[in-house]
Structure 1
Amino acid sequence: MTTLNFTKMHGLGNDFIVINALNQPVTWTADNIKTWSDRHTGIGFDQLLLIEASDNERCDFKYRIFNADGGEVEQCGNGARCFAKYVTEHGLTDKTSVMVETMRGIIVLNILDDGRITVDMGKPHFAPEEIPFVPKNKADQEAKVHMLVVGMETIPVSLVNMGNPHAVMLVEDVKTAPVKILGEAIEKHPQFPQRVNVGFGQVLSPSEINLRVFERGVGETQACGAGACAAVVAGIRHGLLTDTVLVHLPGGDLTIHWKEGESVLMTGPAAEVYSGTLTY
């Protein structure tokens, strides 16, 4: 039998277990993660976050993310805030600005005086090969809005890579948007070879939006930090939003700031729920 210590955390209801691999050996399979993530027979979580030592001398830690289906993914904004809260409150660092290595590069986590965390999510990317996305033709490759054929519908989406791939669509009302049906269909659409996260955004004003996100390998979550960044970036590029936007998600609010050519800054809370031990 193997025993693992873990901590349950959440960022606006987007929930995680955090496992510190700095002080304990860690081994598991994708099936283990699927079992632990089950909300009826396991702990229940959207993603597993792993803290490791980084080989990059610039970085304080290495940050790995595994979805509830067991697959490893590149980025998670809400998870990054939980990561920052964990390493500071569990005495792993006394810094208020932490540099972390991820699968897609280095991110910077800044702990504010009010307890919120600002995450420098890096610069967004839009080229089809950076999503990745397989365009139908040259015009589709260069478009700001891509037309996806889903069943009998043609749906306009904006594509943004925020360290992981996002397809963002505008809707009149997020409450009535077909998030599960369209989310599942677009997540596995053949034009996304690595699948995609799907955002449903409702613009309330130039500085405020409602958002629901269907996350790749998870389903709809209470909040998605990278999805909020992608939605705001898409809205700014289309002239619908200002450079600082309050994003209302089912689990709570995030503030996203972005100017063309700069990194995206995401600010929001994180919370620890409890600690426990897994034996398997």
Structure 2
Amino acid sequence: MLTLIKAHGSENQFFLLDQTQLTQPLTTTELSWIARQLCHPQTGPLGGADGLLVIAPSANPTCLGAMRVINADGSEAKMCGNGLRTVSRYLAEKSGQTQFQIATPEATLSVIRSADLAPNVPAFSVQIAPISMAAANLPFAYHQRPELFNTAVPEFVDHQTFTAIAVPNPHLISFVDQLDSNVLGELGQRLNAPNPYFPEGVNVSFAKVLGPNRLFVQTYERGVGFTNACGTGMSATSLAFAMQYPTLFDPASDLVVLNPGGLVKTHVTLGKTPATSTLHLIGNATFSAKLTLDEHDLRAGKFSTALIATTREETAYQTFIHHVKQLTL
């Protein structure tokens, strides 16, 4: 028997699978197929999820473990900030450590246990890296520009400017006076279908500046669609905000970033270049349920036999978010 954990960061929903529980690790092809079954809102348990987070030992002896991110459509993402917080909690509880490193496909990242956001709302701070605005690293192509920073792109949306940042997932960010989900959804779908600008697709975020060091961000995620929150999207948007709105950015303080699923905090330290800047994402790591099932059933995509034990953490998180939003909006 093995245990899957249903978890979320800012209501960005995941299943956590620790490969060390299995008699033999699942292959990439198997993980892709299982993620599509597990995360589907109809076939998956507990209403599915946005992705499957795969935990395994790391070949790097300095890391406590390794994380892979399989999207709901079976594709693999380079990183997931909200997911990294939940994996950090899992490894912290498994090991008894509160500060360590986790290997991801693109970088080794530092994580640390933060103070609880509220009673029964545990939190972690995670490093978001590497950072690049170079066209080749996203990748993107637009009039042979080496990067895209606060640039009008009428082919995307009239009367809006766009900034492209990889962290390392590719993000396209636009600050708007009024957030229109229909426009965001249409652009997100268009840039994640075959297109001449982002050959591998891109996460698209619209952001509204609420005040000094305060934002609202909504993201259309590559491989998923609309989610309640995107950790790397909020991190990239925080960096874009610091660069585009220097009079509203206080580098000594955290940013408060609201999203449809709640809120996070980010901390931005601007370097001489985007690549030398640092980003940290701070937010909840909520375990809402644990599912116990046979390994054979997991491999067969048979989840109806799973024994599900829910926690009270989601109630605590919703109480916290309701209170905070009343104070911040």
TM-score (norm 1): 0.91
Count of aligned residue pairs for this structure pair: 274
Unaligned runs of 5+ in 2: 117-121, 272-276, 301-329
Match in the other structure for 1:168 = 173
The letter for the 2-side match of 1:61 is: G
Deviation at 1:73, TM superposition (A): 1.1
The letter for the 2-side match of 1:94 is: G
Match in the other structure for 2:184 = 179
Matches within 5 A, 1:12-91: 12-24=10-22, 25-27=24-26, 28=30, 30-43=32-45, 44-89=48-93, 91=94
Match in the other structure for 1:256 = 266
Flag the structure with higher helix content: 2
In structure 2, the CA distance between the partners of 1:176 and 1:252, relative to structure 1 (3 Å rule), is: same
**Of 239, 245, 252, which aligns to 2:245?**
239
Deviation at 1:167, TM superposition (A): 0.4
Unaligned runs of 5+ in 1: none
In structure 2, the CA distance between the partners of 1:34 and 1:150, relative to structure 1 (3 Å rule), is: farther
Matches within 5 A, 1:49-198: 49-89=53-93, 91=94, 93-114=95-116, 115-137=122-144, 140-150=145-155, 153=158, 155-174=160-179, 178-188=183-193, 189-198=195-204
Deviation at 1:38, TM superposition (A): 1.0
Q: Which of 1 and 2 has greater Rg?
A: 2
- Which 10-residue stretch deviates more, 35-44 or 208-217? 35-44
Comparing both chains, which one has the higher relative contact order based on Cα–Cα distances under 8 Å and sequence gaps of 6 or more?
A: 1
Other structure's SS at 1:124 match: coil
Deviation at 1:26, TM superposition (A): 3.3
In structure 2, the CA distance between the partners of 1:126 and 1:152, relative to structure 1 (3 Å rule), is: closer
The letter for the 1-side match of 2:107 is: G
Q: Is the CA contact (8 Å cut-off) linking 1:187 and 1:198 kept in structure 2?
A: no
Other structure's SS at 2:20 match: coil
Match in the other structure for 1:202 = 208
